[in-house]
């Protein structure tokens, strides 16, 4: 392929690429976008010429995304989402009756807390609401750049250009099968039971390891995952005892499990963020109040 990557990718090419990835074929993308298959093929080839690498491997009528294509897809999909949000905001400016709200949240917050906050806004909830789930690092970038209006995630999130509007402090919890006789989890239990928890050493796992270290305990077996819900479901299946954030454990209704306290409080803090220096609007004030009320109702402060 000739390297012509001296320009910027065209939005129509990116849209075609995302459609092909989502549908699995050029034909499917053409039907989705309402254009002919030759046009899709041309858009993809033009995109590859600008990028300087192939996004698909072609074997007759069949196509397979290349390694670069898979990696580029995440950015392309995010760009298309942001593009739609820009269009929605433009519509809001054209018609004062239309209001929009864009919130980024980690999967935990999007599932366990955000619906409660939005429900609390009731009739004040904007007509157009967009919720994007992403990791904390991507969330910080989205808030900082103004791609989203607000972000909700666990602390720490000390990025320049991002301001915490309100936070809530609770404690990590243990999750066991509902029929378990356990009412309080001690660290000594992990000499026999498998530890089920997150693998990110910079966040929850760091605090858990520190607590085990203070107790002089080293779990003999563990199952780590990138989702608290996975750990909770593993506990339901009897694979061990989960130690997870309380938002996932209490904010998402999962049958067959129960939440019990740990032998000591391991702090867990989360907050509502917006871009630093941004005006505090009436929507911001309502979200701050809604966040505080929803957090207090779902999770009493640690030590209470």
Give yes or no: residues 92 and 1 share one domain: yes
162 assigned to some structural domain: yes
Of the listed ranges 92-101, 241-250, 258-267, the one predicted with least confidence: 92-101
pLDDT band at 80 (very low <50, low <70, confident <90, very high): confident
Q: Which of 96, 111, 135 is the last residue of a domain?
A: 96
Give yes or no: residues 77 and 107 share one domain: no
- Apex CA 192: angle with CA 191 and CA 194, to 5°? 95
Give yes or no: residues 163 and 199 share one domain: no
CATH of the domain at 67: 1.10.10.10
Give yes or no: residues 210 and 73 share one domain: no
81 assigned to some structural domain: yes
Domain range enclosing 210? 173-264
303 assigned to some structural domain: no
Calculate the average pLDDT of the chain: 87
Give yes or no: residues 160 and 278 share one domain: yes
Rounded to whole angstroms, the Cα distance separating 164 from 248 reads 21
Rounded to whole angstroms, the Cα distance separating 16 from 73 reads 11
Residue range 19-30, pLDDT digits in tens: 999 888 898 889
Give yes or no: residues 22 and 47 share one domain: yes
CATH of the domain at 208: 3.40.190.10
User: Would you tell me the crossing angle of helices 11-23 and 37-51 to the nearest 10 degrees?
Assistant: 110
Phi-psi group of 187: left, alpha or beta (phi > 0 → left; psi -120 to 50 → alpha; rest → beta): alpha
65 assigned to some structural domain: yes
130 assigned to some structural domain: yes
Give yes or no: residues 108 and 164 share one domain: yes
Of the listed ranges 53-62, 90-99, 291-300, the one predicted with least confidence: 90-99
- Please tell me the predicted confidence (pLDDT) of residue 120: 85
Give yes or no: residues 223 and 274 share one domain: no
Across the range 197-216, mean pLDDT stands at 86
Give yes or no: residues 209 and 275 share one domain: no
Tokens of 51: 């990028």
54 assigned to some structural domain: yes
Rounded to whole angstroms, the Cα distance separating 207 from 55 reads 41
Give yes or no: residues 25 and 76 share one domain: yes
- Please tell me the predicted confidence (pLDDT) of residue 176: 97
278 assigned to some structural domain: yes
Give yes or no: residues 255 and 198 share one domain: yes
pLDDT surpasses 60 at 252: yes
Give yes or no: residues 51 and 103 share one domain: no
pLDDT surpasses 80 at 94: no
Residue 131 and residue 110 in contact, taking contact as beta carbons nearer than 8 Å:
yes
pLDDT surpasses 50 at 39: yes
Rounded to whole angstroms, the Cα distance separating 304 from 302 reads 6
Give me the number of domains the chain comprises.
3
304 assigned to some structural domain: no
């Amino acid at each position: 392929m000739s390297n012509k990557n001296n320009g910027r990718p065209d939005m129509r090419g990116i849209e075609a690429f995302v459609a092909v990835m989502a549908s699995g074929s050029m034909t499917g993308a053409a039907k989705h976008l309402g254009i002919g298959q030759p046009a899709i093929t041309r858009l993809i080839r033009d995109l590859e010429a600008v990028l300087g690498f192939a996004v698909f491997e072609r074997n007759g009528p069949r196509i397979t995304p290349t390694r670069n294509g898979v990696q580029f897809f995440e950015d392309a999909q995010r760009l298309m989402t942001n593009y739609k949000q820009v269009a929605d905001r433009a519509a809001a400016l054209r018609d004062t009756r239309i209001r929009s709200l864009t919130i980024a949240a980690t999967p935990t917050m999007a599932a366990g807390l955000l619906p409660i906050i939005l429900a609390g806004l009731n009739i004040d909830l904007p007509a157009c609401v967009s919720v994007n789930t992403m990791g904390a690092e991507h969330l910080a970038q989205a808030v900082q750049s103004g791609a989203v209006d607000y972000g909700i995630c666990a602390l720490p999130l000390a990025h320049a250009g991002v301001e915490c509007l309100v936070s809530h402090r609770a404690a990590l919890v243990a999750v066991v099968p509902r029929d378990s006789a356990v009412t309080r989890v001690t660290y000594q239990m992990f000499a026999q039971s498998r530890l089920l928890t997150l693998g990110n050493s910079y966040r929850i796992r760091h605090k858990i390891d520190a607590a085990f270290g203070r107790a002089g305990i080293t779990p003999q077996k563990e199952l780590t995952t990138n989702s608290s819900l996975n750990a909770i479901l593993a506990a339901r299946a009897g694979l061990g005892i989960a130690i997870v954030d309380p938002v996932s454990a209490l904010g998402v209704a999962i049958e067959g499990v129960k939440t019990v306290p740990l032998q000591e409080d391991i702090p867990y803090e989360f907050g509502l963020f917006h871009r630093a220096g941004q005006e505090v609007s009436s929507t911001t004030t309502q979200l701050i109040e809604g966040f505080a009320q929803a957090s207090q109702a779902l999770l009493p402060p640690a030590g209470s």
